[in-house]
Structure 1
Amino acid sequence: MQNQTAKTLKGKAVAALEAGKLQQALKKAQLGVKKFPKDTDFHAISGFVLTEMKQYKKSIPHFIEASRMKPDDAQFVENLANALMQTGQIPKALEYTEQKLEQFPNNKELNRVLDEIHLKGSNWRMIVEHASRKLESEPDDVNLLSKRARAYSKIGFVDDHTRDVTRAYELDPENLKIAFQKAVTLHQSGDKDGSKGLLQSILEEEPQHRFALFQMSTIVSKKDAPEILDAVESAIAGSYEDHQELEFAKATLISKIDDLDAAMPQFARANKTQHDGNPYDTAAEENKLKQITGLFPVEAGLPVAESTDTPVPIFVLGQPRSGTTLMEMMLSAAPGIAGCGELTLGADLSHDIQTGDQKFDPASAEDFAQQFRNLMPPIPEGSTAFVDKMPHNYQRVGFLLSAFPNAKVINMLRDPRDVGLSKWIRRFPAGGMRYASNLAAIAHSANMYRRYMAHWEAVAGDRILTVPYEKLVADPKTYSQQVAAFCDIEWDETMMHPEKNTKQVRTASIDQVRNKISTKSIGGWQSVSEHLRPMLDGFDPALWPEYDLG
């Protein structure tokens, strides 16, 4: 009898919800919570109705209770993660979502929540503030130091990140999470041997540590790769779920032991694992292009801010893997030029303007510039220019050139087939790079880049220098001199030797830029072209006149 009553009440609550009668649905669901406190469905319905009513804070206790009663039900976990994010509890939302992705690694909704957190620099600043407040009374809390270090890293505060990681590791060197952070930081600083030694100690303690195995796969030599491959395959065999880190580690190791052609089927598997949980949205990207370029009509010209403060911004942009890191290392090797890595500020400050109805006028541009300078990481005293090498700033050139009338834009152009291959054989877990795990999406994104740049060239072409990657690596002196002249900086011979630059590198180019400039990667796509057909067929030849894509 009790079961029938509960079933009837649920039916009425769901019917009211489907009819859009939210107050009525909530009343019946909460009556069910009181009468049948062990029935998970009433908590779930209550939480969902409150979410529909945008009352996220009130929904949280219901989702907590539902997920406690049914910990293996992903839907309750998804709802709770989203509610935590929507109520601004970013540190808690991030920690909970990442923890639950261990249990549901390919869950699309959890990956969406994680993306939304990751794609906003303001969220990372909130985590910095949250951790800093707590560290005032608990200065030796290694978990807080670790959280703040990661957040600092996301917003480009490299020195602060390194300081927190170093301190956390000094306090608790046995903590595997912190030891892994330390290993990654060592690699970014160019100390591959130190990083490898620390990763080995982590794997001795936890042989199936998938992040350490992936990181090790990118560092080890061909000679040591078989041993790591055995460990990776053992970890895959012992896992109930497909983990992209392990799948990419296996592919990377096969390419070292055999060759790239032998590894391509495994790279396809790894990318599918990643893309299934985090797919590329073609329609959303097309809409973004329309929104942004619509704010800057060609015939109107750019709205320009008044201030021309220094240091002068140099924005290096292009497709990821097109040479943006190389160009930053060349520029920041010159005296007085500060390399800031990939700042999220262009995206952060333009997002609300892009998606809203407001116009971007000179006053908006002035405000944009002031906020940008206030939020960027500190740079050395006496710097005459700073470099922001966020590749995806190709979407935001209009905002950047309006805000900074003295800014320079360097567009790195590279054969999209080489760029596409380079993306395909590396792991890019960031939300803004979801296209990198699908061949057709790689081509669509590449075409979008050319469409953006065609618009910006029409709007402000004289303020943009396009540097062909292939010509730069073949003749670094001529092209580094051209870049220096364009940026109004004095050319220095050190610009031809970026491998000597000791700056931390936090991108997929981490190892390549530690080597001398080389042409060896040009045309690499040709040897594995049969594995890349959806990408090769997707490029629009009309958008790439510099390359024979016919």
Structure 2
Amino acid sequence: MQNDFTQALRAVQGGDFRSAQRLARKGLKADKAHPGWMNIAGIAECGMGRPKAGLPHFQLALKLAPDFHDARRNLAQTLLLLGRAEEAAGQLHRLTDANAQDDGAWALLAQAEMARGEGAAAMAAAGQLIALHPGQARGYLLRARLLGQMGDEAAALADLERAAELEPGNVEAQIALSLPLARADRPDAARAAAERAVELAPGHVPARLALAMRLVEQGQTEAAKEQYRAVLKIAPGQPEALEQLAQINSGAENAMLAPQVLAALKSADDNGPAKGQLHFALARIAGQEGDEDGFAKHLTRANAAMARLMPYDSGADTRLSEALMARFGPGAEGDGPGDGVAPVYVLGLPRSGTSLTEAMLGAHPAVHPLGERIAPGRLLAPLIDGGLPFDAGARAAFRQGEAESLPALPDGTRFYTDKMPENYRLAGFLLAARADARVIHLRRDPRDVALSLWQAHLAGSALNYAYDLRAMAHRFNLYARMMTHWHAAFPGRILDLAYEDLVADVEGASRRLAAHLGLDWVPEMARPDQAAGQVLTLSASQLRQPVHARSVGKWRQHEAMLAPFIAGLDPRLWPGLG
């Protein structure tokens, strides 16, 4: 049996979990009270994507041998995978108490504490891992990921740069470094990090995906296509590459790509995002071909797949929105001007024209565009979650935190832009924090916004409502209520700009924007396509085209598909929709 046990361990190490499972069953048949076989059986189940089935094996192994540290670590990791972070943390604390040198336990504990919402404890656990191995990149990479989740991008970037310095040949470090560099407005360094990752490991799929995305953001579409095609040579069914390539391909190129997407769909896993990604790709291809039925069918299936992974809680969203509005009544006032460069918050519904507006503003030499910043949300989260007052001290702390989170700005900058669309939820805090803050609110026909969101695949779970038409209508109604409230609470502080007016008269809209900031208008503001630099959103390719109105009223072509959304709009909140 010892030979079988050795073979099982080798199978686990080689990722052959079916063989490990077969050997474990054989071993347990011979000895039902063998904790080692129980542990291997649990690992095999988890390796085959069945963590619930693996859990009792680890629990029984520990019942048989309470000091079996590997089984306890595996139990904690499985609990974490199942979303049971509290239980996982308890198991991990037992491990670190018994052996403070257990680096694997510290790494898992950091993740468990973060999942519990205990950021300080998570950082302390990551710090222990760094203390155990100060010359390795691993601990810095983990802490950077935690810092990123907490929204402290500057500290995360410092840790990533340290990791890359310690291990210049670490592909994961270079990949992890690329996006934060882009967000820090260092596009050349961001692309160089991704290029370095590809040089280190030409066959590494995530490295090529990262490089492709940096190229898209910088407007180098053809070079990005080459990277996605290289990924597909390595992994022909890779869903992210197929989806992203479909978005930037011409119609003729996508006609050749379609069979590859269909083949990948046949073998796609039902439990992950792959099916959604591939249906988004097929919807794009059908749309280019003028196949309206195929377009609607694939979008419906794509969004349904994503909605299953990220369901929307309408009740929780309503409670949060009402709590945010209740903090600021009519006639709320803001503090005096802050020190230094003033913020311009460009907000509204996603896909409402915030990127285009930022590009127009960024064409002015006194305005520096910073894209979608997460610092305000990070700084305000403890106050919102804890129901704490946004008093003078809290407002001063917010202003200081905002200033410290800014990258170096060019000489002569008077304003920086933050175009996080859903800052509309935080508008009360942003306006109360400083009187010189500018808010520009983009309004767009909600039906056109819904169509744009329905055919977009948005990263992360923050916009999970966009995968369900009824949920989207509910969220849009909340948005309309909130913007009405902010106008009443801060009269005259918010400039409303209709997307339809913006694209119909670019110069006129850009003059209004300049006047709102108290700046002299410059002609470059009327040509945002020539001013667009790095763009980190889905609007990257669109911003590099001359402004057009082709998408205005496009919802009418897809009215039947959007019917559940349109029916869910509250006519009292959306007057004048015809």
TM-score w.r.t. the length of structure 1 is: 0.80
Shift of residue 81, structure 1, vs aligned partner: 6.2
1:60/1:84 contact within 8 Å kept:
no
Instruction: Tell me: CA distance 1:520–1:310, structure 2 relative to 1, closer, same or farther (3 Å).
Output: same
- The aligned amino acid for 2:547 is I
Q: Secondary structure at the match of 1:543?
A: coil
In structure 1, the residue matched to 2:190 is: 161
Shift of residue 156, structure 1, vs aligned partner: 6.1
- The aligned amino acid for 1:446 is F
C-alpha distance in 1 between matches for 2:281 and 2:345: 33
C-alpha distance in 2 between matches for 1:189 and 1:46: 39
Correspondent of 2:406 among 376, 385, 399: 376
Q: Secondary structure at the match of 1:223?
A: helix
C-alpha distance in 2 between matches for 1:203 and 1:393: 37
C-alpha distance in 2 between matches for 1:59 and 1:347: 34
Q: What whole-Å deviation, never above 9, does each CA across 1:189-209 have from its counterpart, x for those lacking one?
A: 111111112222222222112
In structure 1, the residue matched to 2:548 is: 518
C-alpha distance in 2 between matches for 1:134 and 1:39: 27
C-alpha distance in 1 between matches for 2:147 and 2:287: 33
Correspondent of 2:92 among 21, 44, 57: 57
C-alpha distance in 2 between matches for 1:31 and 1:510: 52
Shift of residue 165, structure 1, vs aligned partner: 2.4
Q: Secondary structure at the match of 1:343?
A: coil
Shift of residue 45, structure 1, vs aligned partner: 9.4
Larger relative CO (CA 8 A, sep 6+): 1 or 2?
A: 1
Shift of residue 220, structure 1, vs aligned partner: 0.7
Shift of residue 401, structure 1, vs aligned partner: 1.4
Matched, 1:268 2:303: no
Q: Secondary structure at the match of 2:251?
A: coil
Q: Secondary structure at the match of 2:491?
A: helix
Matched, 1:297 2:329: yes
In structure 2, the residue matched to 1:479 is: 509
Correspondent of 1:541 among 562, 571, 576: 571
Instruction: Tell me: CA distance 1:191–1:32, structure 2 relative to 1, closer, same or farther (3 Å).
Output: same
- The aligned amino acid for 1:245 is Q
1:316/1:324 contact within 8 Å kept:
yes
The two structures, once aligned, show a CA RMSD in angstroms of: 3.4
Q: Secondary structure at the match of 2:343?
A: strand
C-alpha distance in 1 between matches for 2:78 and 2:94: 4
C-alpha distance in 2 between matches for 1:358 and 1:39: 42
C-alpha distance in 1 between matches for 2:553 and 2:407: 37
Correspondent of 2:261 among 232, 235, 250: 232
C-alpha distance in 1 between matches for 2:71 and 2:446: 51
Instruction: Tell me: CA distance 1:3–1:146, structure 2 relative to 1, closer, same or farther (3 Å).
Output: closer
Number of aligned residue pairs: give it. 487
In structure 2, the residue matched to 1:354 is: 384
Instruction: Tell me: CA distance 1:363–1:45, structure 2 relative to 1, closer, same or farther (3 Å).
Output: closer
In structure 2, the residue matched to 1:331 is: 361
C-alpha distance in 2 between matches for 1:253 and 1:90: 48
Matched, 1:398 2:428: yes
1:199/1:212 contact within 8 Å kept:
yes
- The aligned amino acid for 2:90 is Q
2:92/2:109 contact within 8 Å kept:
no
Matched, 1:186 2:220: no
Correspondent of 2:519 among 484, 489, 509: 489
Instruction: Tell me: CA distance 1:546–1:501, structure 2 relative to 1, closer, same or farther (3 Å).
Output: farther
In structure 1, the residue matched to 2:131 is: none
Correspondent of 2:248 among 213, 216, 219: 219
Larger displacement relative to structure 2 (130-139 or 267-276) = 130-139
- The aligned amino acid for 2:366 is G
Instruction: Tell me: CA distance 1:43–1:388, structure 2 relative to 1, closer, same or farther (3 Å).
Output: closer
1:318/1:391 contact within 8 Å kept:
yes
C-alpha distance in 1 between matches for 2:224 and 2:73: 50
Shift of residue 56, structure 1, vs aligned partner: 6.2
C-alpha distance in 2 between matches for 1:217 and 1:60: 47
In structure 2, the residue matched to 1:106 is: none
C-alpha distance in 1 between matches for 2:195 and 2:72: 47
Matched, 1:364 2:394: yes
- The aligned amino acid for 2:86 is T
In structure 2, the residue matched to 1:34 is: 65
1:46/1:59 contact within 8 Å kept:
no
Shift of residue 55, structure 1, vs aligned partner: 3.2
C-alpha distance in 2 between matches for 1:444 and 1:156: 35
Q: Secondary structure at the match of 1:462?
A: coil
C-alpha distance in 1 between matches for 2:345 and 2:366: 16
Instruction: Tell me: CA distance 1:261–1:91, structure 2 relative to 1, closer, same or farther (3 Å).
Output: farther
Q: Secondary structure at the match of 1:271?
A: helix
Matches within 5 A, 1:103-114: none
In structure 2, the residue matched to 1:246 is: 278
Aligned-residue identity in percent: 28
C-alpha distance in 2 between matches for 1:284 and 1:50: 21
Instruction: Tell me: CA distance 1:34–1:80, structure 2 relative to 1, closer, same or farther (3 Å).
Output: farther
Q: Secondary structure at the match of 2:442?
A: strand
In structure 2, the residue matched to 1:207 is: 236
C-alpha distance in 2 between matches for 1:492 and 1:353: 40
Instruction: Tell me: CA distance 1:182–1:543, structure 2 relative to 1, closer, same or farther (3 Å).
Output: same
Q: Secondary structure at the match of 2:546?
A: coil
Shift of residue 317, structure 1, vs aligned partner: 0.3
Shift of residue 544, structure 1, vs aligned partner: 1.5
C-alpha distance in 1 between matches for 2:493 and 2:576: 21
In structure 2, the residue matched to 1:97 is: none
Larger displacement relative to structure 2 (408-417 or 156-165) = 156-165
1:409/1:464 contact within 8 Å kept:
yes
- The aligned amino acid for 1:296 is F
C-alpha distance in 1 between matches for 2:387 and 2:110: 31
C-alpha distance in 2 between matches for 1:160 and 1:305: 37
Instruction: Tell me: CA distance 1:538–1:60, structure 2 relative to 1, closer, same or farther (3 Å).
Output: farther
C-alpha distance in 1 between matches for 2:206 and 2:73: 38
Matches within 5 A, 1:334-345: 334-345=364-375
Matched, 1:176 2:205: yes
1:316/1:390 contact within 8 Å kept:
yes
Instruction: Tell me: CA distance 1:521–1:52, structure 2 relative to 1, closer, same or farther (3 Å).
Output: same
Unaligned 5+ segments in structure 2 are 1-30, 36-58, 98-107, 127-144
Unaligned 5+ segments in structure 1 are 7-27, 63-77, 93-114
Shift of residue 119, structure 1, vs aligned partner: 5.8
Instruction: Tell me: CA distance 1:137–1:533, structure 2 relative to 1, closer, same or farther (3 Å).
Output: same
Q: Secondary structure at the match of 2:463?
A: helix
Shift of residue 530, structure 1, vs aligned partner: 0.8
2:112/2:122 contact within 8 Å kept:
no
- The aligned amino acid for 1:464 is I
Instruction: Tell me: CA distance 1:116–1:379, structure 2 relative to 1, closer, same or farther (3 Å).
Output: same
2:232/2:241 contact within 8 Å kept:
yes
Correspondent of 2:122 among 88, 108, 118: 88
Instruction: Tell me: CA distance 1:164–1:546, structure 2 relative to 1, closer, same or farther (3 Å).
Output: farther
Correspondent of 1:412 among 418, 439, 442: 442
- The aligned amino acid for 1:88 is A
Shift of residue 262, structure 1, vs aligned partner: 3.0
C-alpha distance in 1 between matches for 2:450 and 2:124: 34
